[in-house]
Amino acid sequence: MMKRFRYVSAAVFAAMMAGSGIARADANSTDEGLRVFKAANCVGCHKWTGAGGGGYGGAAANLRKTKLTLEQIELTIRCGRISKGMPHFDPDAYTDGRCYGMKASQLEPGRIPPEADHPLRQADIDAVAKYVVANIKGQGEATLDQCHSFFGAGSRVCDMYAKQDEGGTQHASAEQQETAETHHHMKVEAATDSNAPHQDAEK
């Protein structure tokens, strides 16, 4: 009986350790995704909130309202959007047909997605896609806590969200959110339909 108890205890301990490892891996992935989101200047178009919209970066997709799956987001980051302003972050995206089965030679110059200023490794693309799904997609309006998570606690950029804490809410208006954005630029054009699943391999 004792021997069996030791086996069960060992199994439970192993399961707990495995679960802890998964949690740490998820947390590390989110942290890495945030780092990439900043380093690749995703805020230049989608803003720190991911809300996108018109402005200095072009009409980028609202990632908070996107219906794309994790795989579709990863594909969009890697390959960009044909005939749209979303750049491709894989520097070899259109050299061998890996993106939508298309090569640059098969596309008219105006249809080739722009090349990102900050190319990413596949691991970075995976990390930032997971960050978008875990921290931006479906999150509603930006909050004070989310602002602190992005900029750090005590950042004055987040002051406007604290002032909006009325009736238990911490939401800032669209106009106020605009003033909180980090004004970096990326070469993009309009991408107004990027919130819906897409088929970019059309001829």
Over the stretch 50-79, which tens digit does the pLDDT of each residue have? Answer: 999 875 545 799 999 999 999 999 999 999
Q: What pLDDT is attached to residue 55?
A: 57
User: Is residue 199 a contact partner of residue 193, using CB atoms and an 8 Å limit?
Assistant: no
Domain membership of residue 43 as a residue range = 28-141
What distances in angstroms separate CA 30 from CA 25, 95, 130, 131, one per listed residue? 9, 30, 7, 5
Arithmetic mean of pLDDT, 152-181: 65
* Assigned domain for 4 exists: no
* Assigned domain for 47 exists: yes
How many separate domains does the chain show?
A: 1
Which of 155, 124, 161, 123 has the alpha carbon at shortest distance from 142? 161
* Assigned domain for 11 exists: no
* pLDDT level of residue 177 (50, 70, 90 thresholds): low
In the chain the first and final C-alpha atoms are separated, in Å, by: 69
* Assigned domain for 21 exists: no
Say what the alpha-carbon torsion angle 168, 174, 175, 180 is, to the nearest 10 degrees.
80
Signed CA dihedral, 97, 100, 105, 106: sign only: positive
Bigger pLDDT: 21 vs 110: 110
Is a pLDDT exceeding 70 seen at residue 162? yes
* Assigned domain for 189 exists: no
Arithmetic mean of pLDDT, 109-123: 93
User: Is residue 180 a contact partner of residue 150, using CB atoms and an 8 Å limit?
Assistant: no
Q: By percentage, how much of the chain surpasses pLDDT 90? A: 53
State the CB neighbour count (10 A cutoff) for residue 123.
11
- The DSSP secondary structure of 164-200, one letter per residue, reads T--TT--PPPHHHHHHTS----------TTTTS----
* Assigned domain for 7 exists: no
* Assigned domain for 147 exists: no
Q: What pLDDT is attached to residue 160?
A: 87
Q: Which residues contact 184 (CB under 8 A, 6 or more apart)?
A: 41, 43, 44, 57
* pLDDT level of residue 84 (50, 70, 90 thresholds): confident
Residue 167 zone, left/alpha/beta (φ > 0; ψ -120 to 50; rest):
left
Bigger pLDDT: 184 vs 109: 109
- Give tens-digit pLDDT for 23-58: 344 556 679 999 999 999 999 999 999 999 875 545
* Assigned domain for 175 exists: no
CATH for 89: 1.10.760.10
Q: What pLDDT is attached to residue 180?
A: 52
What distances in angstroms separate CA 49 from CA 44, 145, 196, 200, one per listed residue? 11, 12, 19, 26
